[in-house]
Structures are given as structure tokens and as C-alpha cells.
């Protein structure tokens, strides 16, 4: 997916991540971003792409993503085949940010492809066409992953990890998260504050009752429903509770927490 | 005849005098899971467990009918300490089920508030301050709170029937309920006022009881006569038993020397009685006696201490022991001081339980087992495309392109494989679970559970979930007594089918002796090495450090275990450790690497965590 970002996306910086990112770009260093689902990784990159005025090539990695999905493949045409660049190759040819989301999900051969791009060579060899592309100065590689998901069979290899400047993301402190919900949805301060309080109550349940914590993204969804006129409690059920668990008993208990906040 | 009439009358009058709605009752057991989640979400400590509180005599005025019926003397008030949240076993004071349920959730919310900021307040001040804290943090509860207050007030003594000081106290309580934060102190009353079910017990029995018992103990050190109490298990009622600890430095003035105004709702004292051993015959009645007491106090006693604690490190009698399958095989051991591997230093004896009988899955686990099985079945559904097939559901474009290319250049393969097909994901994984069955697993976690019971449940759920997958697994347990004997018990071999016979072997695991990890890991490595699978996982479940009677402790044990783990890695295995030891951070990163172990914080969670951890580790997720 390629996009040139028109309007500046809203992003709430929390530390020095923007400066670090800019430095990494200036010095042609690749960046690794880790953090839980929906905490703003993708938004941060969109924001930075806009700030640096770069096109953004996003690839959401999945189990079946192979190196050729990144690099490109031959397509059938009339009695012939045509080489079609993959998103990584396009970014290397034209410059811009190539963002590999959830890199650990991809097959192992993909990491082999990105290795030569992450050291000082900054090259992309394409076996099938016999080309070796030299990345331009405004090319930047970014990968992200969610450390909560990693397992032994499918982790990021230390040798891959060590090729990146790494930034760690987490959910925002309550005040900032409230601000994000307000800005994103136009919710009033009271609603945003209660939603954030609810989310933080639910985040207490991580590991013990819930596999994953409710994300800022879910809060934004829920606030959107409420602003559109949905009943608070029902909006929370659909936007916040049901996405978190399938256990009827846990849902019941979590709804009690919703009642406690929205009554 | 008189008896029957008496019983009928008692039944009748009790029913008439009963101040509640038994048909609208909500039982704690039915909603304790939801309550626990709610409590934790409100910020309550995740390690707390929820149990039933027992009733105590409140001493407040009864109604006339209650007096006649002899009922209404006791009340159950919720309270919380460091590790338990105690709630009434059932609530039926309010006129409908939903309201009774709400009362439970309100109490859980109240209990989730930290006590610290309110310690300087008197009890009624603290109760109101906590109420205010809950309401401001969770504004949604306001409406419900005031609904509950209105209903609860109807249950309180009628104002017109109270006199002077009792009336003033009752009015103060009502005001405190209706306008929390507005009452500084409770006026002195003649009788203790009726306790408030919407508040937590202001004087939970633990501290007071322990204190009384310790006072008693101190003064009777030279007392030759001893008393001892055994608690007979009863299903009807839970006893609050307080284990009294030796904390003489923390002596505070005895409970009775301070005037706690209205705090003192109850008094159940522990007396040391000179009872001869013959009285033990009475133990059958003990549960009845215990029912009549508000609290049971268990105190350390200078006489019976030794005889009551069984700490026997000798081997079980031959008739009761497991069966050794062979004389054992010898394994080396790493001596870190000599910096060398000592050959044939440790003897591992394969054993099998001699008293395992086929058993079905314990009933208390069926629900959890169903849940993990369902989860694992869903995980199994992961499928992937297999390319380059001669027949399949879709055209394999890549193969087709290559085929076209080949055809264009005149090279033709006889049978082009141009299709792809979705096939179930292929895994080729063997897992060996090695459970530490050392004596330390005998330690109790609660009145009914020992660590070994949790490990047993964990092994059950692990097996239940794994048998829905294609992954192969085996379970072994180990314990040791010096280097001559590392008992390596087969619970389930790789080739055994998981059935009631294996369940019987899981059921039969018992705490053994010590923890000579190195030898056991080497034996497990040897077994796993022989497996033909592509990936091999060695999963060690333990509750502590390696140790044994001889030099195998401290550094020696750690270093040998580390050496055994390195050998396992070299053999192509993936060793992983799951521990319940709180101090695991001190040594496990050294043994297994920072990513090579998982620490289960709440031991009780081990059974449900183990299958999930496995799924995560092996990429089922």
C-alpha cells in the first residue's frame, strides 16, 4: 500500500521519539518499533512520513508473506511475463519509507531480503531480474512488532534485531491518552476521561483475565460510537468489551466495570 | 412428640422472623468468578482469592419476632486482608436477585480501594471515605449505591423503636449512608448498632484473634498441659482459622485494653484447656463444636508442635514405593571447581508409579479442560498453502509462469505441477515435560491445596490440550536423594496414548525428595534425542533451585544444571523452564537465558497458564 499523506495526521509525542526518528532518517539508519496493539505505532510512522514529506509504503506482514511479495514477481501477460515490483523494491527505487508491520509474522526468508538493506551497503539484490538496487538517501526501512505475541519458534532473531535503532511504544499516560481520544473523535473531556479510566481499569486485567489490553484504537472506536449517539454502555460493549474476550463470564464481569464507570 | 412440635415451631417462627428474601438469593459461588474479574479491574490485587466470610454475633437489637425465634443474632460482613477477599456466602436481604447481585459488586468495589489513605480515620470515617472514593472514581456506581442504600435502610432497626443514644447512633449511620463523608464519629450507644452490610467489616477478625492467641501463648510457656485442636473437614461451612505467627516485636496493646467503641462486635476467645488424650475421641464432634464458634484459632503449642508436623525424609516403605524399572543408567556431572565433567557420577533410575490406577479426569477440571481443548482446536485450524502440486484447489501462478517460461524455451517437464492447495499446517514437534516432584512441592498453598496438587492439575490440563493437537508429548517426573538415586518417574511416554491409564499416573504423582536437576535433564535429553521429530522442546516445571543432600546445592547445583542445559541445546533441543519460585529471577536467567523461562506469579494459575504458555512458545498462536 503506497500513500502520500496529504493532511498531517494527529500524533501525540510522548518522549524524544520524533527526534530519534529524524536522526535515524538523516543518518540512513533503519528503525524497529515495538509495542502492543493499537498503541499508535502506525500512526507515528504516518505522522513522521508526513513530517519528512516522504511517501509511505506499508506492508502488513502475515504468515504467508514471502520474500517475493516484498521484492516483486513476474506476472503473466500476452505470451510473456512482466516483472512487477513489490512494495519494498518500489520504495528502494523511488525513495520513501517502507514500513513492514508485524515483521515477525512474515516467513523467515523475508528477513534475508532486508538484511543487506539494513547495513551500510543499503542494497537490494533482486535475483529474478539480476538487478542490484542501491537505496537512495531518502529511503528508510521501518519494521514493527508486538513483543506480546513473540514465541520461541517465531521470534525476531537477535542478528536481525541488532540491525535497527529501536523504539519502544506503550499506551499513553491517562492525561495524554485522554487528549488523543478528544482530538481523534471530538469527544468532550468528561467522556474521554471516563473512557480512559475504563480502559485503565481493564488494563489491570492483563495476563490474568485478558490476553490483551484494550488499545487506544478501541477507545477511539468506542468514543466514535458514543458521539454518533449510541448508548454509552452499549457502545462500550461493542467497541471495548466484546473485542477483548469471548468468555461470556468475563464479558459479564467486564460489563459491570462499564456500569461502574458509565452507570 | 414434643420434639416434633418444637421443631415445627422453630421452623415456623424462624421463617416468620426471617428478614430477607430467600427465593431471591444470590450465592457467592455462582458469581465469584465475575466478582474476581471485577475486583481486579477496579484495581484490586490480582493475587487475592475470594472466599466466604463466616457470620459473627453483632450484639445489636433484634426485633421481637427475631428474639422469639432466636434468630437475627449473626451477620456476615465482607472484609479483605493481604491475600483474601471475604464475602458473604449468599446474599438475600434485598427484594430481588439483581439487587442482591449489585450488593456483591458494590462490596467488591469497596474492597478494591486501598486502605492506607484512610488509616488515620475512625472506622465510620474510613467507611464513608472509601465510599466517597469509589463513587468519585466510578461515577456510574452512584445511582446503584443510592438505590442500595434506600433498600438497606429499610432493613435497619425502625427509628421509632430505638431509644435515646441508640437512636442517635442509628441516625448517624443513616446519615453516613445517605451523605457519605458527613459523619465524623458515631455517638456512643447503649448497644452496638446494627452493622451495615454496605460497608466492610471495620474490625476484621484476623489481627484481633492472632493477638489474643499470642498473648495467651506467651504467658503459658511453662505450662505442662497442652491443648490441641484438629479441624475436621466440613463441607457445610468454612472456618476462619488464623495461623498465629511469632511476631512478638510487634506487640500492640491487647485488644481489650483499648476501648474500640463500637468496633468490638464479637469475641471468640482461645482458651488453653487441660485435655487428656482420651478427649480425642471427641474429635468426631469437633466439627459440630466448630460450627458453634465464630472463629477457630490455631496456635503454636509447645507440646504438640513436633508430633503434628510430619517431616520425614526417609524413603517410603517398599510396599508403598514406586517400582524401579531397571537399575538405572549413569550420567556425568559437572564439577565447577575442578572445571570438568565427572564421568558416571550420577545414577538415574527409571521408575513407574506402583499405585496408579486408571482414573478419569478429575471433575473439578472438566470445565477448564473443555476450555483449553476448544482453544487448542481453534489454534490447530491454522492452515497454509502448499504449492507446486499436480492437483489442487487453485492455480499456482508462480509454477505456471515457470512452466510457460520453460515451454517457451523448449524445455518441457512431463507432469507440470501447477496447482496449490490449502493444507493443515504441518508441525513436527515433540515435547517432553519434566516435572520437579521434590519434597518442597508438598508445601501448602491453602487449606486444601499443596503445590503438588497444582502441578498435577497443570499436567492434566496440559495433556488434555495437547492431545487435541498433532504434537507429540511425554511427561516425566523426578526427585533425588544424593547422586546414587535420581528417581525418574514415567508418567506418560511418547508412545503412550493419553487415556485413563495415563491420567491415573498423573493422579499418582507424589512429592519425593530432592532436586538433582542435572541428572534428570540429561536423562530427558537422552530420551528426546532419540525422537525423530524436527523440533524438540524440553519443558521443565519446577518450584525452586536445584539442590540435594550432598554437595549438590548452591553454586555446584546451578553449575551442573547449566552444563546439562548446554548439553541439551547442543543436542538440538529447546530447553524451557516454567517456575513458580518467586526468587527465580536470581538464577533462572543464568540457567536458561532471559527468554528461556517463564515465572508464574500466582501459583494457582499454573494449570490454566501452562497450556497457553505452550501454545505461545511453540507458535500455535
Residue B48, beta-bridge partner list: none
Task: Decide: A73 and A86 in contact? Cβ < 8 Å.
Answer: yes
Question: By CA distance, what is B429's nearest residue in A?
Answer: A153
- Residues with Cβ within 8 Å of A244's Cβ and at least 6 positions away in sequence, in order, are A202, A210, A212, A214, A218, A254
Flag whether residue A78 sits within 8 Å of chain B, measured between CB atoms: no
Query: Which domain-ending residue is among A132, A149, A168?
Result: A168
- Residues with Cβ within 8 Å of B176's Cβ and at least 6 positions away in sequence, in order, are B124, B127, B128, B182, B183
Give kind and range of the element (H or E) at residue A261.
helix A248-262
Q: What are the C-alpha distances in Å from B109 to residues A33, A176, A214, B35, B448? A: 37, 26, 21, 9, 28
B382 to chain A: which residues are within 8 Å by CB?
63
Q: Strand, coil or helix: what is B303?
A: coil
B43 to chain A: which residues are within 8 Å by CB?
201, 204
Give kind and range of the element (H or E) at residue B524.
helix B517-529
**Strand B383-389, strand B419-424: pairing:** antiparallel
Distance from CA of A218 to the nearest CA of B (A): 17
pLDDT over 60 at A237, yes or no: yes
Q: Do residues A17 and A83 share a domain?
A: yes
Task: Decide: B120 and B79 in contact? Cβ < 8 Å.
Answer: no
Q: Do residues A59 and A141 share a domain?
A: yes
Q: What's the DSSP call for residue B393?
A: S
Distance from CA of B160 to the nearest CA of A (A): 35
Pairwise CA distance, residues A11 & A216, whole Å: 12
Inter-chain residue contact A208 with B602, CB threshold 8 Å: yes
Q: What are phi and psi of B388, to 5 degrees?
A: 65, 45
Distance from CA of B615 to the nearest CA of A (A): 9
Inter-chain residue contact A76 with B397, CB threshold 8 Å: yes
The angle, 0 to 180 degrees and rounded to 10, between the axes of the packed helices A174-185 and A216-227 is 40
Distance from CA of A34 to the nearest CA of B (A): 17
- Region of A244 (left: φ > 0; alpha: ψ -120 to 50; beta: rest) is alpha
Grid coordinates of A172:
499513553
State the pLDDT confidence band at A149, using cuts at 50, 70 and 90: low
Q: Do residues A110 and A38 share a domain?
A: yes
Q: Do residues A141 and A93 share a domain?
A: yes
Query: Which domain-ending residue is among A101, A135, A168?
Result: A168
Inter-chain residue contact B384 with A253, CB threshold 8 Å: no
Flag whether residue A157 sits within 8 Å of chain B, measured between CB atoms: no
- pTM for this one? 0.62
Question: By CA distance, what is A152's nearest residue in B?
Answer: B617
Residue B419, beta-bridge partner list: B389, B395
Pairwise CA distance, residues B258 & B256, whole Å: 5
Q: Do residues A226 and A134 share a domain?
A: no
Task: Decide: B118 and B129 in contact? Cβ < 8 Å.
Answer: yes
A246 to chain B: which residues are within 8 Å by CB?
none
Which candidate, B28, B40, B43, B258, places its Cα nearest to that of B130? Answer: B43
In A186-215, the residues whose Cβ lies within 8 Å of chain B are 194, 197, 201-202, 204-205, 208-209
Pairwise CA distance, residues A102 & B214, whole Å: 59
Query: Which domain-ending residue is among A133, A153, A168?
Result: A168
Distance from CA of B45 to the nearest CA of A (A): 9
Pairwise CA distance, residues B442 & B434, whole Å: 17
Q: Do residues A103 and A149 share a domain?
A: yes
B109 to chain A: which residues are within 8 Å by CB?
260
Q: Strand, coil or helix: what is B540?
A: strand
Q: Which of B105, B138, B616 is nearest residue A261 as measured by Cβ atoms?
A: B138
Please give the pLDDT value at position B195. Answer: 87
Distance from CA of A183 to the nearest CA of B (A): 23
Inter-chain residue contact B617 with A155, CB threshold 8 Å: no
Pairwise CA distance, residues B328 & B351, whole Å: 9
Q: Do residues A161 and A193 share a domain?
A: no
Inter-chain residue contact B138 with A155, CB threshold 8 Å: no
Inter-chain residue contact A259 with B144, CB threshold 8 Å: yes
Q: Which of A75, A154, A250 is nearest residue B619 as measured by Cβ atoms?
A: A154
B33 to chain A: which residues are within 8 Å by CB?
249, 253
The angle, 0 to 180 degrees and rounded to 10, between the axes of the packed helices B97-111 and B141-154 is 110
Which candidate, A118, A124, A125, places its Cα nearest to that of A163? Answer: A118
> pLDDT tens-digit profile of A73-104?
777 666 677 888 999 999 999 999 999 998 88
Which ipTM was obtained for this model?
Answer: 0.80
> pLDDT tens-digit profile of A152-167?
555 677 778 889 999 9
Among A153, A191, A233, most B C-beta atoms within 10 A, so best to mutate, is A153
B→A interface, C-beta within 8 Å: 33-38, 40-43, 46, 105, 109, 137-144, 382, 384-385, 397-398, 400-401, 404-405, 535, 574, 576, 595, 602, 605, 616-619, 621
Distance from CA of B75 to the nearest CA of A (A): 26
Inter-chain residue contact B46 with A208, CB threshold 8 Å: yes
Instruction: Domain B320-377+427-617: give its CATH superfamily.
Output: von Willebrand factor, type A domain (3.40.50.410)
Q: How far apart are the first and last CA of chain B?
A: 70
Q: Which of B109, B140, B401 is nearest residue A263 as measured by Cβ atoms?
A: B140
Inter-chain residue contact A81 with B617, CB threshold 8 Å: no
Flag whether residue A251 sits within 8 Å of chain B, measured between CB atoms: no
Distance from CA of B159 to the nearest CA of A (A): 32
Inter-chain residue contact A64 with B385, CB threshold 8 Å: yes
Pairwise CA distance, residues A128 & A83, whole Å: 9
Q: Do residues A17 and A58 share a domain?
A: yes
- How many CB atoms neighbour CB B599 within 10 A? 14
Inter-chain residue contact A153 with B41, CB threshold 8 Å: no
Inter-chain residue contact A256 with B576, CB threshold 8 Å: no
Question: By CA distance, what is B595's nearest residue in A?
Answer: A152
Question: By CA distance, what is B371's nearest residue in A?
Answer: A247
Task: Decide: A31 and A164 in contact? Cβ < 8 Å.
Answer: yes
Give Rg (Cα) of chain B: 32
Inter-chain residue contact B398 with A250, CB threshold 8 Å: no
Distance from CA of A26 to the nearest CA of B (A): 34
Inter-chain residue contact A201 with B43, CB threshold 8 Å: yes
Q: Which of A149, A152, A205 is nearest residue B40 as measured by Cβ atoms?
A: A205
Give kind and range of the element (H or E) at residue B402.
helix B397-408
Pairwise CA distance, residues B309 & B133, whole Å: 45
Three-state secondary structure readout of A190-238? HHHHHHHHHHHHHHCCECCCECCCCCHHHHHHHHHHHHCCCCHHHHHHH
Q: Do residues A37 and A114 share a domain?
A: yes
Domain boundaries, chain B: 2-178, 208-251+288-311, 320-377+427-617, 384-423
Please give the pLDDT value at position B287. Answer: 53
Inter-chain residue contact A260 with B574, CB threshold 8 Å: no
Q: Which of B37, B141, B382 is nearest residue A254 as measured by Cβ atoms?
A: B37
The angle, 0 to 180 degrees and rounded to 10, between the axes of the packed helices B141-154 and B123-137 is 140
Q: What are the C-alpha distances in Å from B259 to residues A109, B202, B210? A: 76, 14, 18
Hunting for cell 501447477 — which residue is that?
Answer: B418
Inter-chain residue contact A205 with B405, CB threshold 8 Å: no
Give kind and range of the element (H or E) at residue A167.
strand A165-168
Q: Do residues A64 and A84 share a domain?
A: yes
Please give the pLDDT value at position B380. Answer: 61
> pLDDT tens-digit profile of A5-33?
567 889 988 889 999 999 999 999 999 99
- B337-341 long-range CB contacts below 8 Å, 24 or more apart? B337/B556, B341/B563
Inter-chain residue contact B576 with A74, CB threshold 8 Å: no
Which CATH number characterizes residue A68's domain?
3.40.50.300
Residue B481, beta-bridge partner list: B485
Task: Decide: B466 and B614 in contact? Cβ < 8 Å.
Answer: yes
Which residues form the domain of A207?
A: 174-262
Pairwise CA distance, residues B288 & B277, whole Å: 19
Please give the pLDDT value at position B410. Answer: 77
Q: Which of B141, B385, B401 is nearest residue A263 as measured by Cβ atoms?
A: B141
Please give the pLDDT value at position B228. Answer: 34
Query: Which of the residues in chain B have pLDDT under 50?
Result: 207-271, 274-284, 297-312, 381
The angle, 0 to 180 degrees and rounded to 10, between the axes of the packed helices B451-466 and B366-380 is 40
Q: Which of B109, B382, B621 is nearest residue A151 as measured by Cβ atoms?
A: B621
B144 to chain A: which residues are within 8 Å by CB?
259, 263
A258 to chain B: which residues are within 8 Å by CB?
140
- Structurally, chain A folds into a number of domains equal to 2
Amino acid at each position: 500500500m503506497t500513500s502520500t499523506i496529504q493532511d498531517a495526521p494527529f500524533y501525540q509525542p510522548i518522549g524524544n521519539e520524533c527526534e530519534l526518528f529524524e536522526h535515524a532518517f538523516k543518518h540512513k539508519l533503519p528503525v524497529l518499533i515495538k509495542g502492543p496493539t493499537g498503541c499508535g505505532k502506525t500512526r507515528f510512522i504516518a505522522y513522521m512520513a508526513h513530517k519528512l514529506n516522504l511517501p509511505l509504503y506499508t506492508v502488513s506482514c502475515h504468515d504467508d508473506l514471502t520474500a517475493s511479495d516484498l521484492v516483486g514477481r513476474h506476472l503473466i501477460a500476452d505470451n510473456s511475463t512482466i516483472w512487477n515490483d513489490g512494495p519494498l523494491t518500489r520504495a528502494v527505487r523511488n525513495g520513501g519509507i517502507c514500513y513492514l508491520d508485524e515483521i515477525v509474522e512474515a516467513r523467515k526468508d523475508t528477513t534475508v531480503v532486508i538484511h543487506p538493506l539494513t547495513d551500510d551497503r543499503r542494497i537490494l539484490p533482486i535475483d529474478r531480474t539480476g538487478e542490484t538496487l542501491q537505496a537512495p538517501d531518502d529511503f528508510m526501512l521501518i519494521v514493527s512488532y508486538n513483543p506480546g505475541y513473540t514465541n520461541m519458534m517465531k521470534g525476531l532473531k537477535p542478528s536481525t534485531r541488532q540491525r535497527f535503532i529501536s523504539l519502544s511504544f506503550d499506551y499513553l499516560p491517562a492525561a495524554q491518552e485522554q487528549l488523543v481520544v478528544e482530538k481523534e473523535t471530538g469527544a468532550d473531556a468528561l467522556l474521554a476521561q471516563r473512557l480512559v479510566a475504563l480502559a485503565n481499569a481493564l488494563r489491570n486485567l492483563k495476563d490474568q483475565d485478558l490476553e490483551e489490553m484494550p488499545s487506544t484504537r478501541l477507545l477511539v472506536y468506542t468514543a466514535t460510537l458514543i458521539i454518533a449517539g449510541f448508548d454509552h454502555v452499549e457502545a462500550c460493549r461493542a467497541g471495548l468489551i466484546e473485542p477483548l474476550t469471548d468468555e461470556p463470564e468475563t464479558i459479564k464481569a467486564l460489563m459491570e466495570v462499564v456500569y461502574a464507570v458509565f452507570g | 412428640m414434643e420434639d416434633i412440635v418444637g421443631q415445627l415451631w422453630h421452623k415456623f417462627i424462624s421463617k416468620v422472623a426471617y428478614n430477607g428474601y430467600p427465593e431471591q438469593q444470590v450465592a457467592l459461588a455462582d458469581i465469584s468468578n465475575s466478582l474476581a474479574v471485577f475486583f481486579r479491574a477496579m484495581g484490586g490485587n490480582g493475587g487475592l482469592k475470594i472466599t466466604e466470610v463466616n457470620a459473627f454475633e453483632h450484639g445489636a437489637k433484634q426485633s421481637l419476632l427475631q428474639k422469639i425465634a432466636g434468630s437475627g443474632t449473626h451477620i456476615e460482613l465482607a472484609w479483605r486482608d493481604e491475600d483474601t477477599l471475604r464475602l458473604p456466602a449468599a446474599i438475600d436481604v434485598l427484594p430481588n436477585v439483581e439487587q442482591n447481585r449489585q450488593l456483591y459488586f458494590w462490596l467488591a468495589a469497596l474492597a478494591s480501594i486501598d486502605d492506607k489513605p484512610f488509616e488515620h480515620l475512625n472506622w465510620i470515617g474510613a467507611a464513608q471515605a472509601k465510599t466517597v472514593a469509589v463513587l468519585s472514581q466510578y461515577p456510574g456506581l452512584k445511582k446503584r449505591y443510592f438505590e442500595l442504600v434506600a433498600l438497606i435502610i429499610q432493613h435497619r432497626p425502625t427509628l421509632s423503636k430505638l431509644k435515646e443514644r441508640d437512636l442517635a447512633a442509628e441516625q448517624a449511620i443513616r446519615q453516613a449512608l445517605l451523605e457519605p463523608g458527613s459523619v465524623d464519629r458515631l455517638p456512643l450507644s447503649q448497644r452496638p448498632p446494627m452493622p451495615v452490610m454496605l460497608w466492610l467489616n471495620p474490625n476484621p477478625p484476623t489481627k484481633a484473634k492472632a493477638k489474643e492467641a499470642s498473648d495467651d501463648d506467651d504467658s503459658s510457656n511453662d505450662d505442662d498441659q497442652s491443648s490441641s485442636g484438629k479441624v475436621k473437614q466440613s463441607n457445610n461451612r468454612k472456618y476462619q482459622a488464623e495461623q498465629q505467627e511469632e511476631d512478638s516485636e510487634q506487640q500492640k496493646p491487647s485488644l481489650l485494653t483499648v476501648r474500640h467503641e463500637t468496633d468490638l462486635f464479637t469475641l471468640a476467645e482461645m482458651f488453653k484447656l487441660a485435655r487428656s488424650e482420651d478427649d480425642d475421641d471427641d474429635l468426631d464432634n469437633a466439627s459440630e463444636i466448630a460450627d458453634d464458634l465464630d472463629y477457630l484459632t490455631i496456635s503454636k503449642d509447645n507440646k504438640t508442635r513436633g508430633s503434628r508436623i510430619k517431616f520425614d525424609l526417609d524413603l517410603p516403605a517398599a510396599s508403598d514405593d514406586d517400582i524401579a524399572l531397571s537399575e538405572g543408567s549413569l550420567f556425568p556431572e559437572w564439577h565447577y571447581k575442578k572445571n570438568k565433567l565427572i564421568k558416571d557420577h550420577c545414577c538415574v533410575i527409571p521408575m513407574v508409579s506402583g499405585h496408579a490406577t486408571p482414573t478419569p479426569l478429575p471433575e473439578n477440571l472438566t470445565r477448564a479442560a473443555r476450555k483449553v481443548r476448544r482453544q487448542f482446536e481453534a489454534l490447530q485450524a491454522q492452515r497454509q498453502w502448499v504449492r507446486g502440486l499436480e492437483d489442487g484447489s487453485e492455480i499456482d501462478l508462480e509454477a505456471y509462469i515457470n512452466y510457460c517460461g520453460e515451454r517457451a524455451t523448449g524445455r518441457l517437464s512431463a507432469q507440470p505441477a501447477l496447482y496449490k492447495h490449502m493444507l493443515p499446517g504441518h508441525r513436527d514437534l515433540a515435547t517432553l515435560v519434566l516435572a520437579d516432584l521434590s519434597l518442597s512441592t508438598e508445601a501448602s498453598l491453602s487449606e486444601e491445596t499443596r503445590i503438588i496438587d497444582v502441578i498435577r492439575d497443570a499436567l492434566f490440563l496440559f495433556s488434555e490440550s495437547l492431545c487435541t493437537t498433532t504434537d507429540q508429548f511425554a511427561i516425566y517426573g523426578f526427585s533425588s536423594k544424593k547422586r546414587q538415586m535420581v528417581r525418574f518417574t514415567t508418567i506418560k511416554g511418547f508412545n503412550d496414548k493419553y487415556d485413563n491409564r495415563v491420567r491415573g499416573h498423573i493422579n499418582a504423582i507424589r512429592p519425593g525428595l530432592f532436586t538433582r536437576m542435572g541428572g534428570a535433564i540429561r536423562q530427558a535429553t537422552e530420551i528426546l534425542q532419540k525422537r525423530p521429530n524436527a523440533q524438540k522442546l524440553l519443558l521443565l516445571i519446577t518450584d525452586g533451585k536445584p539442590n540435594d543432600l550432598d554437595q549438590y546445592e548452591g553454586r555446584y547445583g546451578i553449575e551442573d544444571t547449566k552444563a546439562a542445559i548446554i548439553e541439551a541445546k547442543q543436542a538440538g533441543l529447546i530447553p524451557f523452564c516454567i517456575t513458580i519460585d518467586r526468587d527465580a529471577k536470581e538464577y533462572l536467567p543464568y540457567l536458561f537465558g532471559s527468554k528461556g523461562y517463564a515465572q508464574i506469579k500466582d501459583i494457582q494459575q499454573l494449570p490454566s497458564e501452562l497450556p497457553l504458555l505452550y501454545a505461545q512458545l511453540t507458535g500455535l498462536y
